[in-house]
A and B are shown apart, each in its own frame.
Chain A
Amino acid sequence: MSLRQKVLVLYLKNSALDSPVSAWAVYDGTGERLRMAGDEDRPPYATGLDALKDGWRLFQASQLLPHARGEELDLSYLKYEFFFEQLVETGP
């Protein structure tokens, strides 16, 4: 058996893992299902905590960074990014 990684990325409404999901992505290293932009209009979980309860392992969370002086009102990328994984056994 060999292991493959499934990656779930959740963007939450604040830095708390139990806050609601506002954006998401799934990358499936098993090749079972090809995921792509725009393929799902409802999030797979209501919160990040719900993903933990379903067996996803958190391995990275975005940092909380101070706002540069003069740029406090500027917005760019989504702020609260959480990476999860599942390791899946595949065939020989």
Chain B
Amino acid sequence: MTTEPILLTSAQMASFVARGFLRFDAAVPADINAQFMAEAGQAPEPVEGGKFAAVYGATLAQAHIPEVPAGTPLADAYPPGSAIARMLDLPRVKGALKSLLGDAPVFDHHFLHVTFPPRFHEAAAHENVSQHTHQDSTIDPREQAFDVQVMYYPHEVTRPMGGTRFVPGTHLRKVSEVALGRYQNIAGQQHMVCEAGTLLFLHHGVWHGGGVNLSDDTRYMFKIRMHASGRQTRQWDLSDLPQRNAQRPIFFLKGAPERGTVETILTTPEPWFEQDTSRLEYVNRIKLWRYLAEDPTYDADYWLTRLEHA
């Protein structure tokens, strides 16, 4: 079995640039998932009249997951042989992180997200609601550089269990954390209903929130945020990247544009896009692609060239 990193393709990178996420279903083997669940431990059953925060605190306290200082090299964050260390060492995970962040990513923070079923809330007279949609972790004025959040789903997540809700394509908007909490539902939102061992790689800017758990089972999700320590650009498998993109006919077309090209991916709208700002989304995606490809004159469908020529 290969242990070499499986780097992302140009189409996968373009999809991450355009939509802000990559999803790998059942990417983590069952034995690692089982080990993680054993290390995370079981939430104590609720006590009538008990405090909800105390149950959550006890759940985190008994988990065999280390506290890790921000700024630790990711390679040093987890004990060798632990479930998370093994997950991070999977060829697909190593390759995705190398492609998105370059060598030697740095640990920012992690968290064991536990979403309790209704009986926990009822016992504590605590309202069982979903988390407001937000962007981690504060308003982030960086132009192009980005952090990555890996969300690990160690067990199957059904729709009644809620799942992480996220809105593809929102990552390039500059907003202030939960200031956008007013938006209850957004066309195209996705819910992470998935098999055990599924991984979601998110650009830090993607709008998301935890879904309400209406099942009988406690839901676990483990999130790790990390950032680059050095060069973040041209780190994916460049072998399928065209040397130079040629402009293609636009608007007046006699058929659908070629599927799967970087240009098509970068100019595909999301269902929630406003009619005028969808074009600005394309502009901002193209700017991010220029950064990642180290190609300052790259364009897709003339969106930036049109604004730049004298």
Contacts and interface: CB of A to CB of B under 8 A. Distances in A.
Interface of A: 9, 11-14, 19, 21-26, 34-41, 43, 73-80
A75 B130 contact: no
Interface of B: 129-133, 162, 165, 172-175, 179-187, 189, 191, 209, 211-212, 271-277, 280-281, 283-284
Nearest to B191: A38
A39 B281 contact: no
A18 B98 CA distance: 46
A78 to B, nearest CB: 7
B274 A38 contact: no
A75 B280 contact: yes
Contacts of B273: 13, 22
A59 B75 CA distance: 55
Given A13-B275, A23-B185, A38 B165 contact: yes
Given A36-B130, A75-B174, A22 B187 contact: yes
A22 B274 contact: yes
Nearest to B180: A77
A36 B183 contact: no
A41 to B, nearest CB: 7
Given A36-B212, A73-B280, A75-B173, A24 B129 contact: no
B186 A23 contact: yes
Contacts of A37: 130-133, 165, 181, 183-185, 209
8 contacts: A11-B186, A24-B184, A24-B185, A34-B129, A39-B130, A74-B174, A75-B277, A77-B175
Contacts of A80: 274
Contacts of B271: 22
A79 B175 CA distance: 13
Given A37-B209, A38-B211, A76 B184 contact: no
A43 B186 CA distance: 8
A19 B280 contact: no
Nearest to B166: A38
A78 B275 contact: no
Given A37-B181, A75-B172, A22 B189 contact: no
A73 B275 contact: no
Given A13-B275, A37-B133, A38-B165, A23 B187 contact: yes
